[in-house]
Amino acid sequence: MSTSDLDKSIQYIKGVGPKRALSLGRLGIHTVKDLLYCFPRTYQDRSKVEKISNLTDGATAMVKGIVINIKSFRTRGWKSIFEASIGDGTSMLQVKWFNRPYQSEIFQVDDHVFLYGKVSLYKQSLQMVNPEYEIASEEDAPGKSVGILPIYSLTEEMRQVSFRKLVKMVVDEHYHKVEEIFTDDIISKHKFVPITSAIKNIHFPDSMDSLKDSKRRLKYEEFFLFETAMALRKRGIKEVSGYKFCIGKNVETHIYKLFPFVLTKSQQKVISEIHEDMCSERPMNRLLQGDVGSGKTAVAVYALLAAVANGFQTAFMAPTEILAEQHYRTLTLMLEKAEVKILLLTGGAKTKIKKENIERIKQGDIDLVIGTHALIDKGVEFKKLGLIVIDEQHKFGVMQRTRLRQKGHKQMPDVLVMTATPIPRSLSLTVFGDLDISTIDELPPGRTPVETYRVPVKKENDAYGFIRKEVEKGRQAFVVYPLVDESEKLDLKSATVEAERLRDEVFSGLNVGLLHGQLKPELKELIMSDFVNHKYDILVSTIVIEVGIDVPNATVMAIEHAERFGLAQLHQLRGRIGRSSHQSYCLLFGIQKSAESRQRIKTMLETNDGFKIAEEDLKIRGPGEFFGTRQHGLPEFKIGDIINDFDIIKLARADAFDLVKEGHKSKDSKEQMLLKRIMESFKDKLDLINTG
């Protein structure tokens, strides 16, 4: 079969050999197929060479010229610079590359070169900095028509020209062997070009139009494979039998009586979705999203208590000790009269007590365990775990979710994950594509939107005066310092010194508390509960209060050095206030240094909408960073762009979920082959995903 041809090691291709195979390996290219699927990063249209004399400042253009002279040197800062002057008979162009030591070997005087890049004006003459470049070769001989040429992402040891030659050879010989994985239905429905022509044209396009068609086809394919894996994972979870809870009116009335408020319509809606999941025999696998302050905790409490009423143990996991403690406090208070045995499990607890607690959980003596990631420690076992709630799930990774779920026994516990960081549309179809999603889209009644202001340096004293006035009105305030890494002693010192300055000078006469991650757990807990009980007017804190903290009487969130926080963090911090009917204020101190930080502050000033902020954040940071690390299960797409290809993702997802639903029984060999291929390409991920 032709597949074996495509699986052939790249080393045996003419002109490759062991040494070159090694450098190809570094790009992830091991087989012929890998090379066919190594798509260009960009393209150059060689038919559009511009005369140097026609260039203008700010334009992006392609020129072709002769190298007149070259010079390479180092700056005092030990940066290497390579400079060249290029002439094309109409004029001269200066070109500079920074920190590319290889450059000096590549260019020689008299070489004919192509340059592609942005033109700028420097000391009265036109230049290009770090342009794409290429020495002209026989491809470009006069009379030969070269159209659109591919540019690949290569390591420094490789050159575009020779790599392109290799790709050309391999494509010409093998492209027709690439198998079509889609059914004719899908192909005709979306008017796709055949895979063979897509592969050929993605490397060496006949025209811009055929390039566009090929891209669309290949992006779809990539998303389709991923979405099918998602659909399989989702179906996998649904096929396992879970617990079938019985939640009658009686139980519900009991639970509702515990809340000191009437649930909003939105809360009721998501509760009915959760009710349905819990009462079915399939395990719940649901994401609850709702902006900061929308009242997710009450929904969690409903699910937890409903499971407890069915005689099961439950776990409620939060990302920080402070938040776990807050949940413990709230729930203990709420359940004072109910017969629910509740316990707090965190990493900081004393060993002896912790041991006892773990034993009680194992014996089934505890109904509701609230804790941090200490809950997923090896030693923690449950007797009958029926439901898991994970708060602020974006702070955890996929693995942690999986590990908690594995604490269940023969049957899979129901899982509810909650997040205040709304999932941007494209991610809800990809990274979280296996979860059912419920959304709380309203805030409890009587809230006034938080007002946000930027505080320039010369207005700082006015802002402090404003905070004092709020305190005099009986309100409380947070002042937050950037101390991203708790181990940064230096910053810690500055936060402490600053807190003392605020306490002794700026806010003299008021009660100021100081909270940071390095305090002993008991002390943290004490300071936090003292703030809740209004023993402090102002709490100076590091980012440890970022998520979840609920002190409705606090109406000011002052953020020092706001430029050092990410957008999601700023929005979370702002979410600590505006939790009562009092008008709340978010004050952003600091100097906006970079364009990015300016953009973040601007977004904060413009909107309170967590959804818009998340979309903006995703744009600024890109999907990788948005999630912090790869543990979140975000795949690296080769050609698909998770942000800009939303429409294609949507199509691919619909088709993939259709296939998995029907393909279950289908005898169609095409579909079987497709599923097999997907299983192969996502093997690693499916392992991680299956129990996920």
Which of 85, 197, 228, 294 is the binder for ligand ADP (CB under 6 A)? Answer: 294
CB 244 within 8 A of CB 281: yes
Site residues (CB under 6 A) for ligand ADP, limited to 618-657: none
For residues 161 and 150, give the distance between their C-alpha atoms in angstroms, rounded to a whole number: 10
Residue 81 pairs with which residues in a beta bridge? Answer: 73, 98
Q: Binding segment for ligand ADP among 130-138, 166-174, 289-297, 523-531 (CB under 6 A)?
A: 289-297
Q: Report in angstroms how near the CB of residue 116 gets to ligand ADP at its nearest.
A: 49
Site residues (CB under 5 A) for Mg ion, limited to 501-560: 548
Q: Report in angstroms how near the CB of residue 309 gets to ligand ADP at its nearest.
A: 21
Residue for token digits 């904060």?
A: 604
Question: What contacts 20, CB < 8 A, 6 or more positions away?
Answer: none
Number of residues lying near ligand ADP (CB under 6 A):
18
Q: Binding segment for ligand ADP among 256-264, 380-388, 537-545, 605-613 (CB under 6 A)?
A: 256-264
Q: Report in angstroms how near the CB of residue 323 gets to ligand ADP at its nearest.
A: 9
Q: Which of ligand ADP, Mg ion, none has residue 263 at its interface (CB below 5 to 8 Å by kind)?
A: ligand ADP
CB 79 within 8 A of CB 98: yes
Which of 160, 214, 228, 297 is the binder for ligand ADP (CB under 6 A)? Answer: 297
Q: Which residue, judged by CB position, is nearest to ligand ADP in the bound state?
A: 295
Q: Which of Mg ion, ligand ADP, none has residue 310 at its interface (CB below 5 to 8 Å by kind)?
A: none
DSSP at 154:
-
Q: Report in angstroms how near the CB of residue 344 gets to ligand ADP at its nearest.
A: 18
Residue 552 engages ligand ADP in binding (rule: CB under 6 A): yes
DSSP code per residue over 413-436:
PEEEEEESSPPPHHHHTTTTTTSE
Question: What contacts 31, CB < 8 A, 6 or more positions away?
Answer: 6, 7, 8, 9, 10
Q: Which of Mg ion, ligand ADP, none has residue 295 at its interface (CB below 5 to 8 Å by kind)?
A: ligand ADP
Q: Which of ligand ADP, Mg ion, none has residue 22 at its interface (CB below 5 to 8 Å by kind)?
A: none
Closer by beta carbon to Mg ion, 329 or else 362: 329
Q: Report in angstroms how near the CB of residue 373 gets to ligand ADP at its nearest.
A: 19
Residue for token digits 């899982």?
A: 415
Q: Which helix (H) or strand (E) holds 478?
A: strand 476-480
Residue for token digits 């920074």?
A: 98
Q: Which of ligand ADP, Mg ion, none has residue 429 at its interface (CB below 5 to 8 Å by kind)?
A: none
Residue 93 engages ligand ADP in binding (rule: CB under 6 A): no
Residue 298 engages ligand ADP in binding (rule: CB under 6 A): yes
- Strands 285-290 and 414-419: what pairing? parallel
Q: Report in angstroms how near the CB of residue 286 gets to ligand ADP at its nearest.
A: 15
Q: Report in angstroms how near the CB of residue 249 gets to ligand ADP at its nearest.
A: 20
DSSP at 79:
-
Which of 21, 263, 526, 620 is the binder for ligand ADP (CB under 6 A)? Answer: 263
Q: Report in angstroms how near the CB of residue 550 gets to ligand ADP at its nearest.
A: 4
Q: Report in angstroms how near the CB of residue 391 gets to Mg ion at its nearest.
A: 6
Residue for token digits 């020209």?
A: 161
Question: What contacts 232, CB < 8 A, 6 or more positions away?
Answer: 660, 675, 678, 679, 686
Cα separation values, 671 from 186, 227, 306, 553, 676, Å = 11, 15, 42, 59, 9
For residues 376 and 43, give the distance between their C-alpha atoms in angstroms, rounded to a whole number: 49
Closer by beta carbon to ligand ADP, 273 or else 460: 273
Q: Which residue, judged by CB position, is nearest to Mg ion in the bound state?
A: 548
For residues 36 and 27, give the distance between their C-alpha atoms in angstroms, rounded to a whole number: 13
Q: Report in angstroms how near the CB of residue 443 gets to ligand ADP at its nearest.
A: 8
Residue 290 engages ligand ADP in binding (rule: CB under 6 A): yes
Residue 603 engages ligand ADP in binding (rule: CB under 6 A): no
Closer by beta carbon to ligand ADP, 521 or else 552: 552
- Map residues 413-432 to x or -, x wherever contact with ligand ADP holds by CB under 6 A: -------x------------
Q: Which of Mg ion, ligand ADP, none has residue 20 at its interface (CB below 5 to 8 Å by kind)?
A: none
For residues 154 and 479, give the distance between their C-alpha atoms in angstroms, rounded to a whole number: 47
Closer by beta carbon to ligand ADP, 413 or else 444: 444
Residue 572 engages ligand ADP in binding (rule: CB under 6 A): no
* The two three-digit tokens of residue 542, written as one number: 């590091």
Closer by beta carbon to Mg ion, 117 or else 548: 548
For residues 155 and 434, give the distance between their C-alpha atoms in angstroms, rounded to a whole number: 36
Q: Classify burial at 428, counting beta carbons within 10 Å of its beta carbon; exposed 0-12, middle 13-18, buried 19 or more.
A: middle
Closer by beta carbon to Mg ion, 148 or else 420: 420
For residues 369 and 357, give the distance between their C-alpha atoms in angstroms, rounded to a whole number: 10
The total of other beta-carbon atoms located within 10 Å of residue 586's CB is: 27
Residue 578 engages Mg ion in binding (rule: CB under 5 A): no
Residue 600 engages ligand ADP in binding (rule: CB under 6 A): no
Q: At what angle do helices 669-681 and 683-690 cross, to 10 degrees?
A: 80
DSSP code per residue over 572-618:
HHHTTS--SSS--EEEEES---SHHHHHHHHHHHH---HHHHHHHHH
Closest CA to 382 of 360, 411, 414: 360
Closer by beta carbon to ligand ADP, 56 or else 533: 533
Closer by beta carbon to ligand ADP, 227 or else 550: 550
Which of 131, 295, 623, 692 is the binder for ligand ADP (CB under 6 A)? Answer: 295
Q: Report in angstroms how near the CB of residue 371 gets to ligand ADP at its nearest.
A: 17
The footprint of Mg ion (CB under 5 A) covers 548
The footprint of ligand ADP (CB under 6 A) covers 261-264, 267, 290, 292-298, 420, 444, 550, 552, 579
